[in-house]
């Protein structure tokens, strides 16, 4: 039997992390016993993690300091995480994977020549474009409080919040989150919105009509404040999602596909041709203009991992994975070998790790030749 190397690597990492199931453990042991290549891979990964360098690396991790850094982030999203079955296992395995890959990349890194160095670029900025034409740089840390005719803005660790100003008319604003970054905003009704990279939200400071309406491009998670008298509606290029008070994710990156995933409550979503679908928690609606709506279950731990800087993919085409690299690292991807774009892979990307870690893993696990030149990733 021929085994997929990436899949076997995932099982090995599961086993090392102590998170492997009995069934997967049996599959891995059978592969080790019957396939010399798998046995060699098992031995190599064991040696890497039990070497003197690895032992020194892991022994010197300050767990308390690390916990102090991530605990506030966990507190902010613990209500969401508690609903994500399998999330802890995903995170523990992904953490070990990222630490291992980071260590391997560190040990095996070669001197970077000028031909492959990434040029230093100006950090992108989160921008708020207001109804009067004013543009505010929300990434500027010099001022945390900004007063405008429409609202008094306050920037904090949890993103943007505001109180209404003298002009309470429904003036429309656009929050723009560029590639590499993500952001959070609390709307005037108490609704919280988390925006993924390369996304935008058009919204009014004050909801004055019968409905609370916003317009989304890209991807966002909504935790909508309950108000039965005023439905909350999210408009995308393809669908409209209507709720009273609930938690859900909308992904509209692909202009031909919109996916709405419901975590809590209920939503009604409609398409271009007035097709409608009612969702219950744990299900998502995938919409295309050609096929209409498809309802299917989803794993919240995977679907919402982007909120924690993780992106998981399983048997996904490299062409699709490259779009995440562009959004998260502002890195253009060119396939010098066009056939590589159709190759499928399984694994994870961590936003807070250097993109070179992912590229190194791609090279070693899949035999893909890739190089960064002038901020363009060439896949050969």
CA–CA dist 46, 55 (Å, integer): 12
Q: Who wins on pLDDT, 276 or 55?
A: 276
Is the pLDDT reported for residue 226 higher than 90?
yes
Is the pLDDT reported for residue 19 higher than 50?
yes
Measure the CA dihedral 155/156/159/165, to 10°: -40
Q: Residue 87: which pLDDT band, with cuts at 50, 70 and 90?
A: very low
Give the H or E element holding residue 53: helix 52-59
For residues 77 and 102, state if they share a domain. yes
3-state secondary structure of 321: helix
pLDDT at res. 40: 87
CA–CA dist 267, 15 (Å, integer): 39
For residues 278 and 333, state if they share a domain. no
Task: Give the pLDDT mean for 181-208.
Answer: 96
pLDDT at res. 189: 95
Joined together, the tokens standing for residue 82 give 């508690």
**Residue 122 is assigned to a structural domain of this protein:** no
Joined together, the tokens standing for residue 47 give 């040696």
pLDDT in tens, 132-143: 899 999 998 788
In this structure, are residues 85 and 300 in contact, taking their beta carbons and an 8 Å threshold?
Answer: yes
**Residue 188 is assigned to a structural domain of this protein:** yes
For residues 31 and 132, state if they share a domain. no
CATH number reported for the structural domain that contains residue 323 in this entry: 3.55.50.30
Q: Residue 15: which pLDDT band, with cuts at 50, 70 and 90?
A: confident
**Residue 246 is assigned to a structural domain of this protein:** yes
CA–CA dist 262, 283 (Å, integer): 6
CATH number reported for the structural domain that contains residue 246 in this entry: 2.60.120.1440
CA–CA dist 260, 249 (Å, integer): 6
pLDDT in tens, 317-364: 999 999 999 999 999 999 999 999 999 988 899 999 889 888 888 887
**Residue 115 is assigned to a structural domain of this protein:** no
For residues 273 and 209, state if they share a domain. yes
Of the chain, the end-to-end C-alpha distance in Å amounts to 28
pLDDT at res. 120: 52
For residues 295 and 335, state if they share a domain. no
For residues 259 and 181, state if they share a domain. yes
Q: Who wins on pLDDT, 93 or 306?
A: 306
pLDDT at res. 50: 58
**Residue 356 is assigned to a structural domain of this protein:** yes
Provide the percentage of residues in the chain whose pLDDT is more than 90: 51
The domain boundary, picked from 302, 319, 353, lies at: 302
Number of domains in the chain: 3
Q: Which of 31-35, 106-110, 129-133, 284-288 is least confident?
A: 106-110
Is the pLDDT reported for residue 366 higher than 50?
yes
For residues 283 and 218, state if they share a domain. yes
Q: For tokens 């916990």, what's the residue?
A: 67
**Residue 118 is assigned to a structural domain of this protein:** no
Is the pLDDT reported for residue 298 higher than 50?
yes
For residues 235 and 277, state if they share a domain. yes
Is the pLDDT reported for residue 85 higher than 70?
no
For residues 28 and 164, state if they share a domain. no
Q: Which of 142-146, 183-187, 212-216, 260-264 is least confident?
A: 142-146
Is the pLDDT reported for residue 84 higher than 70?
no
Q: Residue 210: which pLDDT band, with cuts at 50, 70 and 90?
A: very high
For residues 193 and 55, state if they share a domain. no
CA–CA dist 68, 174 (Å, integer): 34
Domain hosting residue 228, numbered range: 128-302
Q: Residue 211: which pLDDT band, with cuts at 50, 70 and 90?
A: very high
Is the pLDDT reported for residue 119 higher than 50?
no
Joined together, the tokens standing for residue 138 give 């929300």
Q: Who wins on pLDDT, 121 or 173?
A: 173
Q: Residue 4: which pLDDT band, with cuts at 50, 70 and 90?
A: low
**Residue 114 is assigned to a structural domain of this protein:** no
pLDDT at res. 92: 45
For residues 103 and 193, state if they share a domain. no
Is the pLDDT reported for residue 83 higher than 80?
no
**Residue 117 is assigned to a structural domain of this protein:** no
Q: Residue 81: which pLDDT band, with cuts at 50, 70 and 90?
A: very low
pLDDT in tens, 31-68: 888 888 888 888 888 777 656 655 554 555 444 554 45
The domain boundary, picked from 302, 326, 342, lies at: 302
pLDDT at res. 76: 47
Task: Give the pLDDT mean for 234-251.
Answer: 95
Mean pLDDT rounded to a whole number for the chain: 82
The domain boundary, picked from 302, 321, 348, lies at: 302
């Amino acid at each position: 039997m021929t085994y997929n190397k990436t899949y076997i690597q995932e099982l090995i990492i599961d086993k090392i992390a102590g998170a492997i199931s009995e069934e997967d453990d049996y599959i891995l042991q059978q592969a080790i016993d019957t396939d010399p290549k798998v046995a060699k891979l098992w031995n190599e990964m064991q040696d890497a993690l039990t070497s003197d360098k690895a032992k020194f690396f892991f022994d010197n991790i300050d767990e308390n300091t690390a916990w102090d850094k991530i605990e506030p982030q966990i507190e902010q999203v613990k209500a969401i995480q508690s609903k994500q079955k399998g999330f802890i296992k995903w995170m523990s395995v992904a953490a070990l994977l990222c630490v291992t890959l980071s260590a391997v990349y560190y040990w095996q890194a070669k001197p970077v020549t000028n031909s492959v160095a990434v040029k230093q670029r100006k950090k992108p900025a989160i921008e708020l474009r207001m109804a009067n034409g004013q543009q505010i740089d929300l990434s500027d840390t010099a001022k945390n409080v900004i007063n405008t005719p429409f609202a008094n803005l306050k920037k904090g660790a949890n993103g943007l919040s505001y109180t209404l100003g003298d002009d309470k008319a429904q003036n429309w604003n656009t929050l723009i989150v560029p590639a590499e970054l993500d952001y959070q905003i609390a709307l005037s009704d108490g609704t919280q919105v988390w925006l993924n990279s390369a996304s935008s939200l058009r919204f009014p400071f004050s909801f004055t009509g019968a409905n609370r309406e916003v317009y989304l491009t890209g991807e966002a998670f909504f935790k909508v404040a309950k108000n039965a008298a005023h439905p909350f509606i999210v408009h995308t290029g393809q669908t409209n999602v209507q709720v009273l008070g609930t938690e859900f994710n909308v992904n509209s990156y692909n202009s031909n596909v919109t996916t709405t995933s419901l975590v809590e409550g209920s939503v009604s979503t409609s398409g271009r041709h007035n097709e409608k679908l009612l969702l219950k928690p744990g299900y998502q609606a995938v919409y295309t203009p050609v096929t209409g709506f498809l309802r299917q279950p989803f794993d919240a731990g995977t679907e919402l991992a982007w909120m924690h800087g993780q992106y998981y993919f399983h048997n996904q085409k490299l062409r699709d994975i490259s779009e995440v690299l562009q959004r998260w690292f502002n890195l253009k991807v060119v396939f010098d070998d066009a056939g590589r774009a159709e190759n499928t892979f399984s694994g994870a990307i961590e936003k807070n790790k250097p993109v070179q870690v992912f590229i190194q893993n791609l090279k070693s696990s899949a035999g893909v030749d890739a190089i960064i030149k002038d901020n363009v990733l060439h896949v050969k």
